[in-house]
Amino acid sequence: MALNREKILDTALDLLCRFGLADLSMRRLASELGVAPGALYYHVANKQELLSSLANRLLAHLDTSRSLQGPSDLLRQGQALYQLLIPVKESAEVLRLALAYRGLKDQVFPLRQQLTLAFARLAPAGQEELAAEVFLHTCLSLMEQTQTQALLAGQLPADQPDSSYQQALSAIIKGFTDPDKG
């Protein structure tokens, strides 16, 4: 089979799931695919682009097409994000790297746009992007913590978020939407 972007992303995701982010190097990816490392650069410019594309691949099954109307929708989307990403080692870190890569606030993540639109309806004017950013990064931070704790304990992370995850997201939503605050 000829080398293509989809094959590269499939293999990168497999390596991430099996070994984690530290072992997802361009050299290891090329070796796994049976090609010289230079062959990868025809399809992806660099590791940052690979991780950004991988982040989009990780989020592909998250429903970002529907409008989030209120706090309960935001909480459900936070839970769906957790359930989607928690089985993949260091997926939260991959998403953070992708968010940082060239300021991909516009290009990456329909999820980010969905959250921003939801907070535009709920938060004071001008705070919707900040609220979406804080919400998303809190989700990722808590997932990263859960994955790390499970790894250190030699266990798999829980497939459902614990109550502190939901409480943290609720506090963020309340902090940005409570008319007595701000």
At 136, is the pLDDT very low, low, confident or very high (cuts 50, 70, 90)? very high
- How many CB atoms lie under 10 A from the CB of residue 20? 16
Check residue 105 and give its pLDDT: 47
Task: Tell which wins on pLDDT, 178 or 9.
Answer: 9
- Encoded tokens for 58: 């990780």
This prediction's pTM: 0.88
For tokens 């907070």, the residue is 119
DSSP secondary structure string, 72-93? HHHHHHHHHHHHHHTTSTTHHH
Q: How many beta carbons lie within 10 A of that of residue 45, not counting itself?
A: 11
pLDDT digit string (tens) for 41-65? 999 988 888 998 899 889 888 998 8
pLDDT given for residue 68 in this prediction: 94
